[in-house]
Amino acid sequence: MSGPSLPFSWQHLNYWHVGLFPLLLMAGACLLYAEGMRRTPTWSTSRAIYFAAGIVVTFFATESFIGAYDMELFSDHMVEHLLLIMVAAPLFCLSAPIDLARAAGGPRVGAFFDSGVMSVILHPLFGFGFYAVIIPLTHLTGFFNLMLEHEWIHHSEQILFLVTGYLFFRPAFGVEYSTVVLHPGLRMVYIMAAVPVDTITGLVLSLQNHNPFPAYSMMDVGSSESLLQSLHLGGGIMWIGGDALMLLWCIPVVVSWVRYETARTKVLDAELDAAGL
């Protein structure tokens, strides 16, 4: 178990829980991205900034007081979940790591991402379906109890959240090259269609009248009443916080949609003028 044994208090906001495994993964990701930039001198600085921001959010979610209590307080775990899947992962999408790998890795890397398996994994329907399955699976089934019992599953879940968020938001932003490109208006529908996943999962957790995760009973994390309160709070965080973040990410999608329609209107006007209409 990674969290401290003392109950959380506001005095712990400056507590840093430094785990070696997450640090190594983040350091490795930074080195790979930096090497890709070295091989691609024309790479966009703004995309590099998005990547750095994603690393900062990931570090804060896993190594700060949030990471320290994510296995003791369900509400804290839910904050970490949202930071990873709905903040860090979208930032990584905007950093376009696959495009960088294509540019820096040459034809072989490009062929790998164009392969049949990767084409399926990177397809919008797969990203949406994966998101719709992973969210309830990791919070409403015995998987969450296993995560509480095994540290390696806990760290695997953190990686899973990042991968799930990346696969979901990738087609919604349309930043990277893809064989299937969604219309800007359809991207809005794509995001909004996923909102019920978090809403329903959050509501189910908020309506629990008992602790559904036996592993909590084996930990010294408070009374059954406090556990239930943390569970209800976590469900509310997923419901309200998750929906709010989804709506927030709709803003850049709407902006790109408006720009797309404005450009289309200009082209249509030019064609009509050329035709004398």
Which residues contact residue 83 at a Cβ distance below 8 angstroms, ignoring those fewer than 6 apart?
57, 58, 60, 61, 66
Q: Model confidence at 261, in pLDDT bands (50, 70, 90)? A: confident
Q: How far, in Å, are 40, 55, 166, 220, 228 from residue 37 at the CA level?
A: 5, 16, 20, 47, 48
- The pLDDT tens digits of the residues spanning 87-130 come to 999 999 999 999 999 999 989 999 999 999 999 999 999 999 99
Q: Model confidence at 277, in pLDDT bands (50, 70, 90)? A: low
Q: How far, in Å, are 77, 89, 167, 177 from residue 180 at the CA level?
A: 34, 20, 13, 9
Q: Model confidence at 11, in pLDDT bands (50, 70, 90)? A: very low
The two three-digit tokens of residue 211, written as one number = 């602790």
Q: What is the DSSP letter of 8?
A: P
- The predicted pLDDT at position 15 comes to 57
- The predicted pLDDT at position 241 comes to 94
- The predicted pLDDT at position 1 comes to 42
- The angle subtended at Cα 94 by Cα 184 and Cα 246, nearest 5°, is 60
Phi (first) and psi of residue 69, to 5 degrees: -110, 10
pLDDT of 257 > 60? The answer is yes
| Number of CB atoms found within 10 A of residue 187's CB | 24
Of all residues in the chain, the percent with pLDDT exceeding 70 is 90
Answer yes or no: are the C-beta atoms of 90 and 58 closer than 8 Å. no
- The pLDDT tens digits of the residues spanning 33-74 come to 999 999 999 999 999 999 999 999 999 999 888 888 888 889
Q: What is the DSSP letter of 84?
A: I
Instruction: Look up residue 70 and give its amino acid.
Output: D
pLDDT of 169 > 60? The answer is yes
Closest CA to 71 of 221, 187, 188, 202: 221
- The angle subtended at Cα 162 by Cα 159 and Cα 168, nearest 5°, is 140
- How far is residue 229's CA from residue 193's CA, in Å, rounded to a whole number? 29
- The pLDDT tens digits of the residues spanning 180-191 come to 989 888 999 999
Q: What integer best gives the mean pLDDT of the chain?
A: 88
The two three-digit tokens of residue 179, written as one number = 């064989």
Which residues contact residue 199 at a Cβ distance below 8 angstroms, ignoring those fewer than 6 apart?
239, 242, 243
- The predicted pLDDT at position 156 comes to 93
Answer yes or no: are the C-beta atoms of 136 and 197 closer than 8 Å. yes
- How far is residue 82's CA from residue 245's CA, in Å, rounded to a whole number? 8
Q: How large is the average pLDDT for residues 141-145?
A: 92
- The predicted pLDDT at position 10 comes to 45
- How far is residue 126's CA from residue 263's CA, in Å, rounded to a whole number? 30
Closest CA to 95 of 58, 126, 148: 58
Place of tokens 């790979």: 32
Phi (first) and psi of residue 161, to 5 degrees: -60, -45
Place of tokens 């909102």: 195
- The pLDDT tens digits of the residues spanning 217-247 come to 777 666 778 888 989 999 999 999 999 999 9
Q: Model confidence at 170, in pLDDT bands (50, 70, 90)? A: very high
